[in-house]
Structure 1
Amino acid sequence: METSAAKSIFVFVYVLIITLSTLQETNGVLNGETQKMISEANKNGPYLGLVIPNLSEMNPLLQSPSFTSSNLTIDFQGRRFRFGKIDEKDVVLVTTGLGMINAGITTQLLVSLFEVEGIVHYGIAGNANPSLNIGDVTILQYWSHTALWNWQRYGDGPEDELSLEENGDYTREIGYIKFANYATNVTECNLHDNFLNNVWYQPEEVFPIDGTPEERQHAFWVPVDSHYFELSKNLESLELEGCLNSTTCLSETPKVTRVLRGTSASIYLDNAAYRNFLYRKFNVSPVDMESAAVALICFQQRIPFITIRALSDLAGGGSAQSNEAATFISLAANNSVTVVVEFIKNLSANYIISSA
């Protein structure tokens, strides 16, 4: 009887431990096994973190002969962290999922869990710059988030103070889009005759790790790491793929180009009027849904980063080249991986020289 009772107690305690361990992981607390794996992984760090929107952009890298997997993966909070090497550089790969929130959460998890020396964010993007072409790979100096808005009430105009502007919450410094300018018959539109009125673009509130907690700063244009950007000059002569197959090729040979600005929003941009506005207003080239979130996390965490985006379409159409994003998405993804691998090789070589 005592033996049976003891066994029952043992089983109960065992099940309780397993249950609590599972609940801890579910509630965002690292369980013992996961914590152990992370600690072991960090002994081999620091790593260069590769942050990638989705599997279609990651798979070409996983299949690349330049990537060697360590067969270590760590799953946490719906993310899978893959470890390996690119040209002897220790790397950790993770996909974010779609949009700014997913990209921000994933990047923060990466830098919080692992010893990371820098971030390379890559993938495909739409294009707002008419001087660039599908298949080109862009390397950006600055990123912005253009979907943090103050939507002005009907009847107010550019000279009217925004709600809460006097508190420093909002500003008119960056500028606005006036919806009345995009009516089908613009000549019939007066200054404030569109109920949608104006949207004013806003900077992000940021809280750097070396700042005072809860004391906000603001950032709109976030610069990439100056050393990484300077190093990327070496990639501009890189040869890229221009054909999907023997019958489907781009009319212009893709190139690597460093450009001044890109912008992100959790909006799939397929509208020529808004694309043209963004280009004229902000002088941006790639438009995507994740890069600014990665940039903002790295900016706040003081972690070097760079973004590499291959252009898969002219956002909103209008080019002579076939312009469905699905047509050239694989070519663009492959070109982005080609540039990322070469960048990491240059980074490794530069590190060896500077350490010598």
Structure 2
Amino acid sequence: MAAKLKLFLFTFCFLFALNKEANGALDAKTQVLINLANKHGPYIGLVVPSLSQLNPLLRHPSFISSGLTIDHGGKRFRFGIIESQPVILVFTGVGMINAAITTQLLLSLFHVEGVVHYGIAGNANPSLNIGDVTIPEYWSHSGLWSWQRFGDGPNNELPLEENGDYTRDIGYLRFAHYYTSDNETAGNVTHDNFLNYIWYQPEEVFPVNGIPEERQHAFWVPVDSHYYTISKELEGLQLDYCVNITTCLKEKPKVTRVLRGTSASIYLDNEAYRSFLYGKFTVSPVDMESASVALICYQQGVPFIVINGLSDLAGGGSAQSNESATFTTLAVTNSIKVVVAFINLLRVFPWALPYVEN
């Protein structure tokens, strides 16, 4: 009798907890709306860092709203059609964590066949200009570091390196290289610096098609090969080059596919670090969200691509130019123009099309 009572109480408590968890995580009304929405998928997920970058697309003539919005987890998912393609639009908020949470919610809740992340970025590539729209082939998170103690150097093993937790394979930044004084210039310095070295680290990733809890590592995450191939068709697209009748760019902007972009939860407005990132990693756009979207899509096995309008020179311009305040609207406009054209390409070059090497 006692055993049966214990079993009953255990079962009751388990079902109560399960029901409470389910109601707390996803209420019945929201679940019904999600089920309804998924019947009209699959969707292209459009992931955007801010409302100021989302609202212009919502007002774009190519976007037709279905009238459905679903709120969950502090996020609002908006449904509609762009160029005959069902889409879900959601803005993340600033930074790597917000972008990762939002992308995971999007992929967990909805039937999404691909993700397009678009927005603005700083430019680290001296051959590119403000207003250009970049489409990188690879993304990295360059804000994950192992910070080495003072006195150690490149030949000293990092803590936990032997366990595979940290590595020196990717490389480092040595702060002493950027010491300056009235009589010295950066790059010709012998002085040491207590900040010493930071070593760039790959992310731990756990792909859904892998063994649970068996970690892999990724630093450079490739965008989807099919998406990247068809994006070449965008390189002749005409972009805007004037903010208004009095403020125009000196160079007409262009759409260009580039090798790499990088992200960190850092607003980069520093010429020395901008130059270091380009020299070390050959990156073009630098932003605060794209690598999170890349890593989540990579782990979930969902195709993705990133489209960035370059709004500033990440510290490479003059102190007076204040490029981002001047050219953000133009960069957003151009990125949206490219996004709409890309979604149209998905209709012209459907997902079933085999990948063709350049």
Given the two structures, how large is their TM-score scaled by the length of structure 2? 0.89
Please tell me whether residue 46 in structure 1 is matched to residue 42 in structure 2.
Answer: yes
Could you tell me which runs of 5 or more consecutive residues in structure 2 were left unpaired when the two chains were aligned: 1-16
- Deviation of 1:318 after TM superposition, in Å, equals 2.4
Contact (CA 8 Å) 1:176, 1:200: kept in 2 or not? yes
- Deviation of 1:100 after TM superposition, in Å, equals 0.3
Q: Distance in 2 between matches of 1:239 and 1:157?
A: 49
For the residue of structure 1 that corresponds to 2:350, the secondary structure is helix
List, as ranges, runs of 4+ consecutive aligned residues in structure 1 with deviation greater than 2 Å.
Answer: 23-27, 185-191, 317-324, 352-355
Structure-1 residue corresponding to 2:7: none
Q: Deviations over 1:73-120 (max 9, x none)?
A: 000011000000001100000000000000000000000000000000
In structure 2, the CA distance between the partners of 1:44 and 1:324, relative to structure 1 (3 Å rule), is same
For the residue of structure 2 that corresponds to 1:351, the secondary structure is coil
Of the three residues 90, 94, 109, the one matched with 2:90 is 94
Structure-2 residue corresponding to 1:239: 238
Q: Deviations over 1:100-150 (max 9, x none)?
A: 000000000000000000000000000000110000000010000001000
Q: Distance in 2 between matches of 1:64 and 1:262?
A: 27
Please tell me whether residue 107 in structure 1 is matched to residue 108 in structure 2.
Answer: no
Alignment of 1:147-296 (within 5 A): 147-185=143-181, 189-190=189-190, 193-296=192-295
**Which amino acid in structure 2 is aligned with residue 222 of structure 1?**
V
Q: Deviations over 1:287-313 (max 9, x none)?
A: 000000000000000000000000000
Structure-1 residue corresponding to 2:303: 304
Q: Deviations over 1:228-247 (max 9, x none)?
A: 00000000000000001111
- Deviation of 1:169 after TM superposition, in Å, equals 0.5
Contact (CA 8 Å) 1:251, 1:321: kept in 2 or not? no
Structure-2 residue corresponding to 1:120: 116
In structure 2, the CA distance between the partners of 1:166 and 1:54, relative to structure 1 (3 Å rule), is same
Q: Distance in 1 between matches of 2:332 and 2:138?
A: 21
Q: Distance in 2 between matches of 1:164 and 1:320?
A: 42
Could you tell me which runs of 5 or more consecutive residues in structure 1 were left unpaired when the two chains were aligned: 1-19
**Which amino acid in structure 2 is aligned with residue 199 of structure 1?**
I
**Which amino acid in structure 2 is aligned with residue 93 of structure 1?**
L
Aligned residues: 332
Q: Distance in 2 between matches of 1:354 and 1:297?
A: 24
Contact (CA 8 Å) 1:314, 1:323: kept in 2 or not? no
Q: Deviations over 1:241-286 (max 9, x none)?
A: 0001111101010100000000000000000000000000000000
For the residue of structure 2 that corresponds to 1:196, the secondary structure is coil
For the residue of structure 2 that corresponds to 1:214, the secondary structure is coil
Q: Distance in 1 between matches of 2:27 and 2:237?
A: 45
**Which amino acid in structure 2 is aligned with residue 238 of structure 1?**
L
Percent identity of paired positions between Structure 1 and Structure 2 = 68
**Which amino acid in structure 2 is aligned with residue 50 of structure 1?**
L
Q: Distance in 1 between matches of 2:193 and 2:319?
A: 34
Contact (CA 8 Å) 2:274, 2:316: kept in 1 or not? no
Q: Distance in 2 between matches of 1:286 and 1:227?
A: 21
Q: Distance in 2 between matches of 1:53 and 1:320?
A: 26
**Which amino acid in structure 1 is aligned with residue 146 of structure 2?**
N
- Deviation of 1:352 after TM superposition, in Å, equals 8.7
Q: Deviations over 1:174-213 (max 9, x none)?
A: 000000000114578547x211000000000000001111
Q: Distance in 2 between matches of 1:25 and 1:213?
A: 23
Q: Distance in 1 between matches of 2:117 and 2:351?
A: 23
Please tell me whether residue 69 in structure 1 is matched to residue 65 in structure 2.
Answer: yes
